[in-house]
């Protein structure tokens, strides 16, 4: 589904703050696979997502999605097949538009010709209600509420819905629950698993929570200095605890996982 | 006080206010192209009316305004020039273009030419002249409101509104947000150009400086309208902008009639109205802070 071959990216080349954010990284995802990504701050995880989604072009290497070479495709064109969620719940929705307008924008664009016909039809509204009801946050009764009035968790759940309403080929989740309180985060995680599973969406999820990295999906990769330094799957992954994983990191990297949030969240569960 | 005349002018400026509303409120970026695109619409319309095509003049005023707006939009998105500067560049360049359109003369008289208004008056001889003018102008501006209200509910219209709100979200929906921005600024200036095109045929002359300061008039209209009509739906916003322009004209006419200030103070008064209204949230915050401090001091004094 996704084939990344030896991509490199240097930021601020030629300055004193030159950063090799991606250092020859390769990665393949099978259709429907759910892979979690961990790694300390600055490891290049978000940069990897930026490269896949087209926020910038990589300096070297190639990216193929479902057989199509998208290495130099514009971001908004790739977005047709790639859904992306960020940590900040504000990034994925238009706060000044109502819930139904947000849904209608995405839905009409994806299912009909982008046009001068009405974006929101009565049948759509019924469908939106159904979709929103599945989130179980009471949003199905607030179709005409401005999205800016929703809580962070509600907004992030809505963003998840927007990105998957028409299932994308690839879903990129960049610490999408990190800004939410623990209860809401758990709820959004649950929705994520449900939606990705039901629609068999190929998914890459960055998380700082070692426990959810091991619990969700079928494969975990660890990044450091713009490369993949460890991959876990199968039996070994199933039996691994958060403590084991942190221990393994220490062995490989000869240092502690410097993300203390990650240590805490690892011990918590 | 000439109420009918004031209403006529007010509803012409309502079309201008609709254009300003699109950039200022929908796109969240005030656009300074309008001083130039207003005069462009006016010049094109005057010249075409003089050539015997008054109706074509209105259409051309709209289209030329759109072209000017598109240019500003391209400067903003393709050349990444600051939105305010992009508008100033287009506006400034348009001064020469407008003079060229007017054949190098700073003003033109349409008194010898047919305009849409002379045509309409001849078509309805039994209705008094002032009512023919008022009805046709009101009809035109309400038509503009209706068309825009419909447009903003279409797929493209919704994408425009979302672009002013959160461009990243629009790109994530696989829509070219830069294209949407160019379209929005073009559309806005289309309406501004149309307003100029109507005005010149209404007052039977074109003046190269007619557009000076219309941005402030438009902003004042939008802001006044929002005080009167508080509904924040898109239709509410459009109606508010249009009504705001009419109320603005009435207020100004009243002030002049009562001799509150001489006519040459008009610009200053408009600018002050806009500045104060835009500063209101900040003023409220300062008052709120002062109250908190006072209450805290009282509290400390009591205990
Ligand atoms: N736009 C950018 N410009 C310059 N440097 C960047 C940019 N984005 C990321 N970096 C640098 O690239 C490295 C990787 O960052 P990032 O991918 O955000 O890490 P992670 O998401 O794993 O915490 C960091 O050193 C960061 O400072
Ligand atoms: Mg990151």
> With the CA atoms of A200, A205, A207 and A211 taken in that order, what torsion angle do they form, in degrees rounded to the nearest 10?
30
Look up the domain containing A220 and give its range. Answer: 2-81+168-265
The pLDDT mean for chain A works out to 87
Inter-residue contact B148 to B236 (CB < 8 Å)? no
A106: closest chain B residue by CA: B173
Query: What does each C-alpha distance from B109 to B67, B92, B200, B202, B282 come to in angstroms?
Result: 25, 24, 9, 11, 46
Q: What is the pLDDT of residues A118-162, one digit of tens each?
A: 888 888 899 999 999 988 888 999 999 999 999 998 999 999 999
Q: What is the pLDDT of residues B3-52, one digit of tens each?
A: 999 999 999 999 999 999 999 999 999 999 999 999 999 999 999 999 99
Residue A267's SS3 state is helix
Of the candidates A88, A74, A263, the residue with the CA atom closest to the CA atom of residue A179: A88
Best mutation target, A94, A95, A146, to test chain B (most B CBs within 10 A) = A94
In-domain check, residue A57: yes
**Mean pLDDT across the stretch A75-81?**
90
In-domain check, residue A230: yes
| pLDDT number for residue A242 | 83
Which ligand is closest to the CA of A47, given by its number?
Answer: 1
Q: What is the CA radius of gyration of chain A?
A: 19
**Mean pLDDT across the stretch A87-91?**
90
Mutate to test the pocket of ligand 1, among A9, A43, A44 (most ligand atoms within 8 A of CB): A44
Q: How many domains does chain A have?
A: 1
- Sheet containing A82-85, strands listed edge to edge, beginning at the edge strand earlier in sequence: A82-85, A170-174, A202-206, A34-38, A219-224, A227-233
Q: Which residues pair with B277 in a beta bridge?
A: none
Give the Cα separation of A85 and A175 in Å (integer): 8
Q: Which residues pair with A202 in a beta bridge?
A: A170
| pLDDT number for residue B42 | 97
Inter-residue contact B36 to B94 (CB < 8 Å)? yes
Report which DSSP code applies to A149. Answer: G
In-domain check, residue A92: no
The pLDDT mean for chain B works out to 93
- Please tell me the pTM assigned to this model: 0.88
Both structure tokens of A191:
């929705």
Report which DSSP code applies to A128. Answer: H
In-domain check, residue A29: yes
Instruction: Report the half-sphere exposure of B219 (CA within 13 A, side-chain side).
Output: 23
Task: Identify which of A90, A106, A117 has the shortest CB distance to residue B154.
Answer: A117
Give the Cα separation of B159 and B180 in Å (integer): 7
Mutate to test the pocket of ligand 1, among A23, A41, A46, A47 (most ligand atoms within 8 A of CB): A47
A114: closest chain B residue by CA: B155
| Confidence class for position A256, pLDDT limits 50, 70, 90 | low
Of the candidates B275, B217, B281, B279, the residue with the CA atom closest to the CA atom of residue B248: B217
Query: What does each C-alpha distance from A37 to A43, A175, A214, A215 come to in angstroms?
Result: 11, 10, 10, 12
**Mean pLDDT across the stretch A224-237?**
87
Give the Cα separation of B217 and B50 in Å (integer): 28
Does residue A263 have a pLDDT over 70? Answer: no
Q: Tell how strand A219-224 and strand A34-38 pair up.
A: parallel
Residue A19 CB less than 6 A away from ligand 1: yes
Q: What is the pLDDT of residues A16-74, one digit of tens each?
A: 778 888 988 999 999 999 999 998 888 899 999 999 999 999 999 999 999 899 999 99
In-domain check, residue A198: yes
Both structure tokens of B200:
């010149």
Q: Which residues in chain A have their CB less than 8 angstroms from residue B159's CB?
A: 105, 109, 114
HEC states along A206-246? Answer: ECCCHHHHHHCCCEEEEEECCEEEEEEEHHHHHHCCHHHHH
Does residue A264 have a pLDDT over 80? Answer: no
Task: Identify which of B158, B165, B173 has the shortest CB distance to residue A79.
Answer: B173
Indicate yes or no: CB of B155 within 8 angstroms of CB of A110.
no
User: B296 exposed, middle or buried (CB, 10 Å; 0-12, 13-18, 19+)?
Assistant: exposed
The closest residue, in CA terms, to atom 5 on ligand 1 is A11
Does residue A114 have a pLDDT over 80? Answer: no
Both structure tokens of B2:
């000439």
**Quick one: which H or E segment has residue A60?**
strand A60-65
Question: Closest approach of chain A CAs to the CA of B240, in angstroms?
Answer: 18
**Mean pLDDT across the stretch B113-140?**
94
Gap between the terminal Cα atoms of chain B: 61
Ligand 1 atom closest to the Cα of residue A48 is 17
> For residue B157, what are the contacts with CB-CB under 8 A and spacing of at least 6?
A116, A119, B150, B151
**Mean pLDDT across the stretch B204-232?**
91
Residue A107's SS3 state is helix
Q: What is the pLDDT of residues B218-231, one digit of tens each?
A: 999 999 999 888 88
Residue A12 CB less than 6 A away from ligand 1: yes
User: A141 exposed, middle or buried (CB, 10 Å; 0-12, 13-18, 19+)?
Assistant: exposed
| pLDDT number for residue A14 | 80
Does residue A115 have a pLDDT over 80? Answer: no
Residue A79's SS3 state is coil
In-domain check, residue A231: yes
Does residue B174 have a pLDDT over 90? Answer: no
| Confidence class for position B303, pLDDT limits 50, 70, 90 | low
Does residue A257 have a pLDDT over 80? Answer: no
Give the Cα separation of B204 and B215 in Å (integer): 22
Burial pattern B71-103, b for ≥16 Cβ within 10 A else e, equals bbbbbbbeeebebeebbbbbbeebbebbeebbe
Does residue A261 have a pLDDT over 80? Answer: no
In-domain check, residue A186: yes
Angle separating helix axes B129-151 and B155-165, nearest 10 degrees: 80
Q: How far is the CA of A21 from the centre of ligand 1 (A)?
A: 6
Within the 143-202 window of chain A, which residues sit less than 8 Å (CB to CB) from chain B? 162-163
Does residue B154 have a pLDDT over 60? Answer: yes
- Determine the Cα angle at A99 with ends A95 and A105, to 5°: 85
Mutate to test the pocket of ligand 1, among A14, A25, A42, A224 (most ligand atoms within 8 A of CB): A42
Give the Cα separation of B126 and B133 in Å (integer): 13
In-domain check, residue A108: no
Burial pattern B20-48, b for ≥16 Cβ within 10 A else e, equals bbbbbbbbebbbbbbbbbbbbbbbbbbbb
| pLDDT number for residue A266 | 42
CATH number at A45 reads 3.40.50.300
B148: alpha, beta or left, given left = phi > 0 and alpha = psi -120 to 50?
alpha
Please provide residue A20's backbone torsions phi and psi, each rounded to the nearest 5 degrees.
-90, 95
- Chain centroid offset of residue A248 CA: 25
């Amino acid at each position: 589904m996704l084939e990344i071959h030896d991509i490199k990216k240097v930021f601020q080349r030629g300055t004193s703050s030159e950063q090799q954010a991606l250092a020859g990284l390769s990665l393949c995802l099978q259709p429907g696979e759910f892979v979690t990504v961990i790694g300390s701050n600055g490891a290049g995880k978000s940069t990897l997502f930026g490269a896949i989604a087209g926020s910038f072009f990589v300096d070297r290497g190639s990216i193929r999605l479902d057989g199509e070479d998208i290495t130099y495709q514009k971001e908004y064109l790739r977005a047709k097949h790639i859904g992306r969620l960020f940590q900040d719940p504000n990034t994925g929705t238009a706060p000044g538009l109502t819930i139904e307008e947000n849904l209608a924008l995405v839905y009409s664009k994806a299912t009909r010709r982008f046009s001068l016909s009405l974006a929101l039809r009565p049948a759509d509204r019924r469908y939106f209600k159904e979709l929103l009801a599945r989130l179980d946050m009471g949003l199905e009764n607030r179709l005409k509420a401005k999205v800016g009035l929703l809580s962070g968790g509600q907004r992030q759940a809505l963003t998840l819905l927007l990105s998957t309403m028409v299932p994308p080929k690839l879903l990129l989740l960049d610490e999408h629950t990190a800004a939410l309180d623990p209860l809401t985060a758990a709820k959004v995680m649950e929705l994520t698993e449900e939606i990705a599973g039901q629609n068999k969406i190929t998914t890459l999820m960055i998380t700082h929570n070692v426990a959810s990295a091991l619990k969700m999906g079928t494969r975990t990769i660890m990044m450091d200095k713009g490369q993949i330094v460890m991959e876990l799957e199968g039996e070994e992954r199933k039996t691994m605890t958060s403590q084991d994983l942190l221990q393994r990191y220490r062995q490989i990297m000869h240092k502690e996982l410097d993300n203390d949030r990650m240590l805490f969240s690892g011990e918590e569960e | 006080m000439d109420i009918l005349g004031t209403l006529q002018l007010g509803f012409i400026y309502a079309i201008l206010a609709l254009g300003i509303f699109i950039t200022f409120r929908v796109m969240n970026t005030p656009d300074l192209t309008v001083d130039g695109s207003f005069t462009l619409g006016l010049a094109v319309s005057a010249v075409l009316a003089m050539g015997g095509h008054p109706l074509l003049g209105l259409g051309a005023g709209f289209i030329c305004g759109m072209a000017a707006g598109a240019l500003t939009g391209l400067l903003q998105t393709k050349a990444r020039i600051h939105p305010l500067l992009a508008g100033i560049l287009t506006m400034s360049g348009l001064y020469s273009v407008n003079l060229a359109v007017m054949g190098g003369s700073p003003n033109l008289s349409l008194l010898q030419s047919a305009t849409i208004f002379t045509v309409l008056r001849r078509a309805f001889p039994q209705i008094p002249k002032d009512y023919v003018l008022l009805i046709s102008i009101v009809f035109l501006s309400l038509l503009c409101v209706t068309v825009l209200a419909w447009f903003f509910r279409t797929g493209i219209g919704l994408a425009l509104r979302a672009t002013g709100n959160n461009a990243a979200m629009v790109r994530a929906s696989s829509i070219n947000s830069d294209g949407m921005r160019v379209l929005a600024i073009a559309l806005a200036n289309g309406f501004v150009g149309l307003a100029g095109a109507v005005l010149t045929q209404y007052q039977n002359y074109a003046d190269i400086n007619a557009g000076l300061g219309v941005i402030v008039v438009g902003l004042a209209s939008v802001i006044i309208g929002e005080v009167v009509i508080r509904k924040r739906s898109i239709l509410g916003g459009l109606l508010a902008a249009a009504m705001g322009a009419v109320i603005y004209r009435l207020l100004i006419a009243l002030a002049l009639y009562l001799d509150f200030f001489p006519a040459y103070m008009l610009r200053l008064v408009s600018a002050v109205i806009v500045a104060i209204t835009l500063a209101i949230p900040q003023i409220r915050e300062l008052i709120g802070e002062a109250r908190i401090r006072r209450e805290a001091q009282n509290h400390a004094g009591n205990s």
